[in-house]
Structure 1
């Protein structure tokens, strides 16, 4: 059974906190939260969450998260998970008597190998501009060559303005239910440009 097969389109860019209940009551360095930028909010909440996470082993980049989870689960005695090129994971069907232990192992692995906080902050203007160009010039043509009808990418201004509320993604137009087909499509047409998170891509 596929429990998760990709880190979501917006999730990598806008994850606020892996331990949201612990973060909701945090005051941002005694500063009015309304005055903090989105990136500052994410960075601060991520830092606090990690400080209260005694299970943390190391941070991973988004495209390496799946591999880290697969290896962690294998070490915990649950082989059979598979990582995709975009950092997602396909999980095997678990017998009912192992479901609870498997769920606990998943939770622990997620805490041990979280995505690096620098990837959790909202995209900058330059990153969104680069992402828009990648969608328009690379990803949409690639998906359409593979037989998926995507249509036109929104113009840059509305793409940027609406990204964090109703973000547009070519993959939202892809209807694939088979894990093998999905993972092959991710290999052929990656969701992200390879240099999106490089320092040169940020403001």
Structure 2
């Protein structure tokens, strides 16, 4: 069966690599945007504890919505294709990054912050030089988890024309083309594993460097 899958990929290299490029572009853009939104928001929530409970509660509610449901909800607003898929994946990855970043920043020892403040550092300098570096392992763990979630969920983008490996799976199911179906499924699994391994390696190297 594996030989049949490899044969199909060899016979359709353009289709496979187009799906791969779409899947990678969609996943990378969604993860980058989710991280860019979550990190500043986590810093703000640490500064305003009264708002943190409501914000964390809202993102926890967002985590309970299935990724396919997010795609369907955005469909009437943004239509089909890349944009609704990207927005849905951003919303899907945002909670994990935000919650980990918030927990990491809240876990910084207050005595270290007070010592830095006593040395004349501004709040911005404390955040940039002390809080974020100390919280970075926890933040990176959240990004790693979100990356695997986004890569996996990006498969569903095919249902609204977002492209990616999901199109190989849906086309394979529709045409009863088992090699094509397996090519898409195995590619997603391999990409998720590679993402987990790469981010896990970065996290371990970072922890070793800090220690």
1 or 2, which has the higher helix percentage?
A: 2
Fold agreement, TM-score > 0.5 = no
Please give the TM-score of this superposition, normalised by the length of structure 1. 0.30
Give the TM-score normalised by structure 2.
Answer: 0.29
State which structure, 1 or 2, has the greater radius of gyration over its C-alpha atoms.
2
